Structure 1
Amino acid sequence: MRLDDESESQNVEDRRGGFGGGGFGGPKTIGIGTVIIALAASYFFGIDPSVIMQGASVLQGQQAPQPQQQANRPPANDQLTVFTSKVLGNTERTWEHIFETELNRRYEPPKLVLFSRVTPTACGTGQSAMGPFYCPGDHKVYIDLAFYDELRRRFGAGGDFAQAYVIAHEIGHHVQNLLGVSDKVDAARRRMGEAQANQLSVRMELQADCLAGVWAANAQRANQQLLEPGDIEEGLKAAAAIGDDRLQKQAQGYVVPEAFTHGTSEQRVRWLRQGLTTGDIRKCDTFAARQL
């Protein structure tokens, strides 16, 4: 990706090196940081799965106020942070344009929080081992940048656009939250059994993948120099690497389809490609799709 001409977002909060922890409750988090990712991370990091699962369950508690904390700006010479901030800034400009021109609405950008190991959120205690996630309770995306290294080393999905896809997927969840999709899905899930609720979660995650593709397509239209040869392939490879079937196979040696919450590798690639090729938010209605 060519980001030299891109400006950094001012909505980055750096908590690295500060405190982290505290069991605060809130609505269920959505995004890559879910139980399946937690299980895979426990396998790769050698962490007791019960610890990871406990953190995942905390993220589904009841909302409570967060403590006041210092919102630091990241250091200017941190290249990975600068990259993340520039990608975030591009998502802000792109989604502002889409909301204004296609939805006749005002886009409200989220905060992106950089943290290490653990951090309090409006959705509970966030943990690095759970991967990046979006918290609808505070409209913030949380990421430990060490995940990028894991994406490359453990999942074989390196490259700057693969990293950008991770951010764009979580921003996709923010878009869903702003449009009321998140509330509808959460309400429906509460009326369902576990297997049905998981199927609904899959549709929500695949829509976030499609929205990530919509961002990239529109960003490229606005700046023809943004994407370089091979970038799209990096993103598709990353989507395939974090499919439920592949993660379950790596973590436990077998696949349990009824436990899927994000979709298979094939499904994730298909919906990311859908957004990339159409650039149309209306083409991302995974809830109406007969076949995922």
Structure 2
Amino acid sequence: MKVRVAAVAVIGVLVVGVAVRFGPGLVPADAEEAGRPVVRVPKVDAPLRQPTTAMTFTPDLPLVQNGLYKAGRVPAVSCRMPVGAQTSRAAVLAAATVVLDCLDRSWVSVVARSGHYFESPGLVVFDRAKDKSCELREIHASAFYCSKDNKIYLEWKDYLQRGNWNRQIDLLDTMAHEYGHHLQRLAGILSYGWDPEASQTSAAALLKSRRLELQATCFGAAFLGANKTSLRLTGERLRTWQHQTRHSGDEYSAGKLRDHGSRQSQWRWAAPAFQSANPSSCNTFTAATTKVS
């Protein structure tokens, strides 16, 4: 999750089949979808693991030795930039669809090399005041990934509060982060180890949450770094992204819940990944707790 100083945006993830959510929000029952029919391999719906033991952090192999960490650099794929002002639901959906296409083309070969099956997530823009689905009934999140239906959700009206320049950078960063949760799902990381009976505000649960969220930020930064030229993340635009990332973190959330990582931790994981464009720098599950504070 990234909560910024200038524009408060709660970004989260929903775990399939349990009552865990980071940055809760509403999603539409009849919202417009935009799945991306890019390069595909057969879809495999493997059952998600639901452990019965109490939630504690343990170095399980799907987390610490995942094939994503060894799959190599994210390739540059000549992304198109969204055009026009993002001032309507249709415009936000159109812009996010362009970014999603770039994310798919960048990550498909990495996922294949990691030994996992690839599929594209769906995309929904929602109206917080009207829409409900994905088992959510609270009104908080500006953006989140729902693993229940494999979709990225964006609250389009939040983009009306920002200048066009910040809207573009924020949309790139938000989509890249939420796609990071999609990658975690494909790699078997996202829901591994959750206990639906455990308190989701316990120290162990919050630590796991921070590891997941900071890893999604790291994956997103690797994509942005790989495609910085075509995404025009240079000069002042790059400095805008750096400022936003340095000013994202639990310090800026309304409840100050330590579930996504501090601003220092956000930058600690984003900066190296942007430079390397490699998910090998994103193994938050072997990091000391001080590195995922």
CA–CA separation in structure 2 for the residues paired with 1:283 and 1:189: 32
2:239 maps to 1:233: yes
Q: Out of 149, 164, 180, which is 1:138 matched to?
A: 149
CA–CA separation in structure 2 for the residues paired with 1:182 and 1:132: 17
Alignment deviations for residues 81-104 of structure 1 (CA, whole Å, 9 cap, x no partner): 32211111111111112112x314
Give the structure 2 partner of residue 40 of structure 1: none
Residues 212, 284 of structure 2: 8 Å contact kept:
yes
Secondary structure of 1:275's partner? Answer: helix
Give the structure 2 partner of residue 103 of structure 1: 114
Secondary structure of 1:212's partner? Answer: helix
Judged with a 3 Å threshold, the aligned counterparts in structure 2 of structure 1 residues 30 and 236 are, in CA distance, closer, same or farther, namely: farther
Counterpart of 1:261, as a letter, is: D
Residues 29, 136 of structure 1: 8 Å contact kept:
no
User: Once the 2 structures are TM-superposed, how far is the Cα of residue 184 of structure 1 from its aligned partner?
Assistant: 1.3
Residues 217, 275 of structure 1: 8 Å contact kept:
yes
Secondary structure of 1:133's partner? Answer: strand
Q: Out of 160, 166, 186, which is 2:174 matched to?
A: 166
User: Once the 2 structures are TM-superposed, how far is the Cα of residue 115 of structure 1 from its aligned partner?
Assistant: 1.1
CA–CA separation in structure 1 for the residues paired with 2:241 and 2:20: 23
Quote the RMSD (CA, aligned, Å): 3.2
CA–CA separation in structure 1 for the residues paired with 2:276 and 2:196: 29
Counterpart of 2:194, as a letter, is: D
The sequence identity of aligned pairs, in percent, is 23
Residues 184, 190 of structure 2: 8 Å contact kept:
yes
Secondary structure of 1:120's partner? Answer: coil
Aligned length: 219
Judged with a 3 Å threshold, the aligned counterparts in structure 2 of structure 1 residues 278 and 122 are, in CA distance, closer, same or farther, namely: same
User: Once the 2 structures are TM-superposed, how far is the Cα of residue 126 of structure 1 from its aligned partner?
Assistant: 6.1
Judged with a 3 Å threshold, the aligned counterparts in structure 2 of structure 1 residues 193 and 166 are, in CA distance, closer, same or farther, namely: closer
Q: Out of 170, 182, 186, which is 2:190 matched to?
A: 182
* Higher-helix-fraction structure: 1
Secondary structure of 1:143's partner? Answer: strand
User: Once the 2 structures are TM-superposed, how far is the Cα of residue 70 of structure 1 from its aligned partner?
Assistant: 7.0
User: Once the 2 structures are TM-superposed, how far is the Cα of residue 26 of structure 1 from its aligned partner?
Assistant: 4.5
2:283 maps to 1:285: yes
CA–CA separation in structure 2 for the residues paired with 1:93 and 1:79: 22
Alignment deviations for residues 179-212 of structure 1 (CA, whole Å, 9 cap, x no partner): 1111214249938871221111111110000010
Alignment deviations for residues 63-95 of structure 1 (CA, whole Å, 9 cap, x no partner): xxx97x47467xx98443322111111111111
Residues 20, 196 of structure 2: 8 Å contact kept:
no
Counterpart of 1:175, as a letter, is: L
Q: Out of 83, 106, 116, which is 1:94 matched to?
A: 106
2:260 maps to 1:262: yes
User: Once the 2 structures are TM-superposed, how far is the Cα of residue 147 of structure 1 from its aligned partner?
Assistant: 2.2
TM-score normalised over the length of structure 2: 0.64
Judged with a 3 Å threshold, the aligned counterparts in structure 2 of structure 1 residues 70 and 82 are, in CA distance, closer, same or farther, namely: closer
Give the structure 1 partner of residue 208 of structure 2: 200
Judged with a 3 Å threshold, the aligned counterparts in structure 2 of structure 1 residues 201 and 166 are, in CA distance, closer, same or farther, namely: same
Judged with a 3 Å threshold, the aligned counterparts in structure 2 of structure 1 residues 123 and 219 are, in CA distance, closer, same or farther, namely: farther
Structure 2 alignment gaps of length 5 or more: 1-15, 35-82, 85-89
Counterpart of 2:137, as a letter, is: T
Which aligned pairs between 1:147-158 and structure 2 lie closer than 5 A? Answer: 147-150=158-161, 152=162, 158=166
Give the structure 1 partner of residue 12 of structure 2: none
Residues 31, 124 of structure 2: 8 Å contact kept:
no
Residues 30, 135 of structure 1: 8 Å contact kept:
no
Counterpart of 2:232, as a letter, is: L
Structure 1 alignment gaps of length 5 or more: 1-24, 35-54, 60-65
Counterpart of 1:158, as a letter, is: N
Deviates more, 1:205-214 or 1:102-111: 102-111
Judged with a 3 Å threshold, the aligned counterparts in structure 2 of structure 1 residues 70 and 204 are, in CA distance, closer, same or farther, namely: closer
Which aligned pairs between 1:22-37 and structure 2 lie closer than 5 A? Answer: 26-28=17-19, 30=21, 33-34=23-24
Residues 31, 125 of structure 2: 8 Å contact kept:
no
CA–CA separation in structure 2 for the residues paired with 1:134 and 1:70: 15
Residues 160, 231 of structure 1: 8 Å contact kept:
no
